[in-house]
Amino acid sequence: MALADIRCDVLDVDLLTDAKAVLDSLAPVEREMRTAGGTWYLARIKPYRTLDNVIDGVVLTFNDVTERVLALAMRHARDLAEAVVDTVYEPLVVLDEHLQVLTANRAFLKLFGGQADDTLGRGFYEIANGQWDFAAMHELLDSPTPVQVPGEDRLISQAFSGIGVQHLRVRTRRVAGKSGITGLVLVSFATEPNPAV
């Protein structure tokens, strides 16, 4: 059977051309390729040597590397998201579906205290000695969908350790990715003057 007779759903890779290049140069070729179904493979093409040390074709092997490729893509996406979040001037945290802190920008840590090491990966209501564990925040975050209409601010007044009573405009937004994964929650805060004044 000839390689040209094999049908596959690989995107943007010409294995026949690669196989011919291996036969011409005798140098192996490796490349990652994606199928139409979204599976990633590492394809290796090597010259096939007979027992008489004669080149008599090529050997193709395919290893499923989907998990590694997707993990790397997620890491790059997370690094990019963290860089974007950190450039925002107002305090901002990103929570997962279980309200664990995925990232908190410098403005959030500076205003409300704490270090990234003590914040990331912990439950939002646990960070900073539990100072976020109050009814108004539970009302905003504990429902399956935000209480607010997207883009609507909620005014909250609360005493915080080291900085006293703060009057905050809080905006929450649940985010769904293209993959259909839901549950990320963006929470931003803007300080306001005392509303009673």
Domains along the chain? 3-64 (3.30.450.20), 81-192 (3.30.450.20)
Model confidence at 148, pLDDT cuts 50, 70, 90, reads: very low
Round the CA-based radius of gyration of the chain to a whole number and report it. 27
For residue range 78-120, list pLDDT tens digits in order.
777 777 777 788 999 988 888 999 889 999 998 888 888 888 8
Residue 46, pLDDT > 70, answer: yes
Check residues 195 and 156 and name the one with the higher pLDDT: 156
Which residues, 6 or more positions from 133, have their beta carbon under 8 angstroms from its beta carbon?
125, 126
Give the whole-number percent of the chain exceeding pLDDT 70. Answer: 85
Tell me the pLDDT of the chain averaged across its residues.
82
Closest CA relative to residue 146, chosen from 195, 182, 110, 191: 182
**CB-based burial, 75-114: b 16+ in 10 Å, e otherwise:** eeeeeeebeebeeeeebbbbbeeebebbbbbebbbebbbb
Three-state DSSP class for residue 78: helix
Model confidence at 179, pLDDT cuts 50, 70, 90, reads: very low
Give the whole-number percent of the chain exceeding pLDDT 90. Answer: 21
